[in-house]
Structure 1
Amino acid sequence: MAQFLIVTDDASDWRPYLPSDSMVPVNDYLQAGAYAGQGVTQVLNLCRSYDYLSSGYYCSLLAEARGHRVIPSVMTINDLSQDRFFSLPQAGLDKLPPQDEVLSFKLYFGRCDKPGLERIGRKIFERFTVPVLTVELALVAGKWQVLKIAPFPFQELSDSEQDEFAKYLEIFARKVWRAPKPSRRFRYEIAMLVDEQEKMPPSDKGALKRFIKAANRIGMDLNIIGPDDLSRLGEYDGLFIRATTNIANFTYRFAKTAAQLGLVVMDDPESIMKCTNKVFLSELLANHKVSTPKSLVIMESMQNWELIVIEEIGLPAVLKVPDGAFSLGVVKVKTVEELRTQAQRIFEHSSLILAQEYLPTEFDWRIGVLNRQPIYACRYYMSRGHWQIYQHHQSGRISSGGFDAVDLKQVPSAVLDVALKAANLIGSGFYGVDAKAVNGRACVIEVNDNPSVDHGIEDLFLGDLLYDRVMTEFLRRIQLRGL
């Protein structure tokens, strides 16, 4: 478990709050070699000033030199000292009083009690991770803009503001107030990000339990966290994402934050970016001459795009929304009229569409790749009476075809070769490559950055060995990072 330190200018700064053994005066922290070599340490820098070469600045600077995870980081301090444009998300700001042309408020760890500011508070804190920020917004031409974002000394908070600060500090770092639960001590701890509300998560509960047991067997603790636990990442050595990833949702923010903190991340933000957009992936694979179905990116502004699709792809064809997942945003079109109708529907949400050759097969291959090596193989059969593995019914019900997991030796060499070539273009993380074998030709359909691992499906051949391999790779990377 990470050590938590609260650094202030003076011990008296903490008098309004509950006593804490975690509180350290900055002069003590700045002593040469202080608090070094004590394992994972998270530092909350509450110094009055973060000005260049001040004690607060040196606190963050030395924390990073010691390998501590510090809030705010030196990069954040430097960013705040410059006039940089900050794009303000407008969603939710319609709740703000329209008669106010200027709005000032404070954020405590990205939170405040003003309604309508939840999203902007979270966004600002993700961009400028500072304990207390003062923010000024201005209503210009009917749109809210940022006038000011600046650190605010917690020592100067009023009594009511101190209450807010204490409340949100408790949410941010509950360890300050609570004694740690008695538990077995592990050398390393990994956070496993799960979305309890997700209907089709990458791993079911049976698989999650087996990942935890596999981590425990090699001396690591694997703790489940959720979408609201971004601030807890500093406690861990690694992040394992077991929620469906997308650039636009919380998973990318978690991956990026964890990478910035120096955690081992599966999968990393670059892999998420590359894999979750099918247009990017199609271009990447084509440029490296990886075999895929015939593909074409179309835009609504293209002249005679319907004829181009028919000439280059043919009918039936498959149209894909660039960032769809689990067969969502994927349609098959058989006629020119279906092509126009479905494309216009997709164009309402995306400026680009990926059109691909339709290759009917009894099943798709899924090759699991970890650290540039294949570790499992699974066959997913098409849903009965349907052309895809998953069938989404109008009632909301989802049906799927059968499956089997096989020894890698039983996989056609052409499928393994093309899967490895595709995965290695993405990186060295944990990927699931979907491929088809048609008339002796193997081609890649897509690369998934957080492949499904469900108990009784992907682990059907390897059993617990599959979970052991993934957790052992986490351990290897964490140990390499510490060298």
Structure 2
Amino acid sequence: MPILIVVNDPRDLPLQFEGSELVAAKTYLTDPHYAAMRGAKVFNLCRSYRYQSTGYYVSLLAAARGHKPVPKISTIQDLKSQTIIRVASEELEELIQKSLSPIQSNEFTLSIYFGRNVAKRHDLLSSHLFKLFESPLLRAVFVFNEKEHKWHLQNINPIAVNDIPEEHRPFVVEVAREYFQRRRTFSRKKAARYDLAILCNPEEKEPPSDVKAIDRFEKAAESLGLAAELIDREDYGRLGEFDALFIRETTNVLHHTYRFAQKAAAEGLVVVDDPESILKCT
């Protein structure tokens, strides 16, 4: 799979990422060579992802070409949503408190480079945030609530390449190299035309479908030529790999199931239950 690093101006990039091709955004948007390219992974490092900006159109066009943009348009929208950020903070509350407990100040900024942080103790939190908001370079701001005596995620935004501190750059190059070389392999019983994700939680006490039912769903999918894979809340960033999402957890609008449904619908997946149904039933 070709790996493209797309930036506004290659002359502005202070880093060299091994195993990838550096492309100017204008070239990617207009050159027929890239329009004809198949299966490319496009890491969008443009200065801005604002609506109708160059960075926005890079991710939009990449998806239209069948490429795999990082970030996706749905992720760009999620980064702007305080509701999504609040839900993410609630879901990761235990991890946030554990990771930030030694911090003495009332505000903390976490730099996330391809799911990693220069301080190893924050790697797990960085990884989870990267899965929720898959964008190459992120900066998350946490604030400490004195009354509640706990940390909250206040906002999370992309980092411009030029904003990476000089002392962090060798680390960024290394984690990028590791990320690009990582191969994700997913088992498939046989070649299938469509991929179905079944969202479930084995620890749920009263799930809408028990283990036997889930097994039957998998067998039914296989009989119809679908490759079914069980996923959980940690697989939010992988939704774009599937053609459909079947939610087999108890849904709620203030729950990760609703966020999964929203993201899947935004990416054009067939979704059961769809976001509107979850809203009506909550």
Taking structure 2 as the reference length, the TM-score comes to: 0.68
Any conservation in 2 of the 1:71–1:131 contact (CA below 8 Å)? yes
- Alignment-derived partner of residue 224 in structure 1: 230
Distance 1:177 1:54 in 2: 31
Q: Which residue of 1 aligns with 2:200?
A: 194
Partner in structure 1 of residue 43 of structure 2: 45
Match of 1:159 in 2: 170
State yes or no: 1:63 paired with 2:62.
yes
Local SS of the residue matching 2:240: helix
For residue 14 of structure 1, what is the aligned residue in structure 2?
Answer: 17
Residue identity (%): 33
CA 1:138–1:120 in structure 2 vs 1: closer, same or farther (change >3 Å)? farther
- 1:159 maps to a residue whose letter is P
Tell me the CA shift for residue 184 of structure 1. 2.5
What residue in structure 2 maps to residue 203 of structure 1? 209
| 1:145 Cα deviation after fit | 6.8
Is the 1:192–1:223 Cα contact (8 Å) retained in structure 2? yes
Note the alpha carbon deviations across 1:428-477, whole angstroms, 9 max, x for none: xxxxxxxxxxxxxxxxxxxxxxxxxxxxxxxxxxxxxxxxxxxxxxxxxx
Structure number with greater CO (CA < 8 Å, separation at least 6) is 2
Relative distance call for 1:246 and 1:116 in structure 2 (3 A) is: farther
Higher helix content, 1 or 2: 2
For residues 263 and 136 of structure 2, the distance between their equivalents in structure 1, rounded to whole angstroms, comes to 16
Equivalent residue letter for 2:159: F
Distance 1:212 1:225, change over 3 A: same
Q: Does 2:261 align with 1:250?
A: no
Q: 2:245 aligns with which of 216, 239, 250?
A: 239
- Cα distance, 1:267 vs structure 2: 0.7
Q: 1:115 to 1:229 in 2, by over 3 A?
A: same
Higher strand content, 1 or 2 = 1
Classify 1:119/1:148 alpha carbon distance in 2 versus 1 (closer, same or farther; 3 Å): closer
Task: Give the whole-Å Cα distance in 1 for the aligned partners of 2:59 and 2:110.
Answer: 25
Q: Is the 8 A contact 2:47 2:161 kept in 1?
A: no
AA matched with 2:17: W
Offset at 1:240? Answer: 0.8
Decide whether the 8 Å contact of 1:60 with 1:74 is kept in 2: yes
Match of 2:190 in 1: 184
* Deviations 1:145-204, CA, capped at 9 Å, x for gaps: 77764322468552334445566x47xxx9x52566575221111111121223333323
Q: How many residues align?
A: 258
Q: Unaligned regions of 5+ residues in structure 2, if any?
A: none
SS at 1:136 equivalent: strand
CA contact (8 A) 1:237 1:263 kept: yes
Report the Cα offset of residue 209 of structure 1: 2.8
Tell me which structure has the larger Cα radius of gyration.
1
Q: Residue deviations 1:321-371, cap 9 Å, x none? A: xxxxxxxxxxxxxxxxxxxxxxxxxxxxxxxxxxxxxxxxxxxxxxxxxxx
- Root-mean-square deviation over aligned CA pairs: 4.4
2-side partners of 1:36 and 1:109: how far apart? 27
Q: Is the 8 A contact 2:17 2:173 kept in 1?
A: no
CA contact (8 A) 1:45 1:56 kept: no
Match of 1:266 among 262, 272, 275: 272
- The answer as to 2:74 corresponding to 1:107 is no
SS for the counterpart of 1:196 is coil
**How is 1:294-309 mapped onto 2 (pairs within 5 angstroms)?**
none
**2:219 is matched with which residue?**
213
Question: Relative to 1, partners in 2 of residues 1:30 and 1:56: Cα closer, same or farther, differing over 3 Å?
Answer: farther
What does the per-residue CA deviation read over 1:258-316, in whole Å, with 9 as the maximum and x for residues that have no partner? 1121110011122122223xxxxxxxxxxxxxxxxxxxxxxxxxxxxxxxxxxxxxxxx
**Secondary structure in 2 matching 1:248:** coil
AA at the equivalent of 2:44? L
Q: After superposition, where does 1:73-152 map in structure 2 within 5 Å?
A: 73-74=72-73, 77=76, 87=86, 89=89, 91-92=93-94, 93-94=96-97, 95-97=100-102, 99-108=104-113, 112=117, 113-115=120-122, 118=125, 122=129, 126=132, 129-139=134-144, 149-152=156-159
2-structure distance, mates of 1:69, 1:141: 42
How far does residue 233 in structure 1 lie from its aligned partner after superposition?
A: 0.8
Q: Look up the SS of the partner of 1:14 in the other structure.
A: coil
Paired amino acid for 1:150? N
Query: What corresponds to 1:308 in structure 2?
Result: none
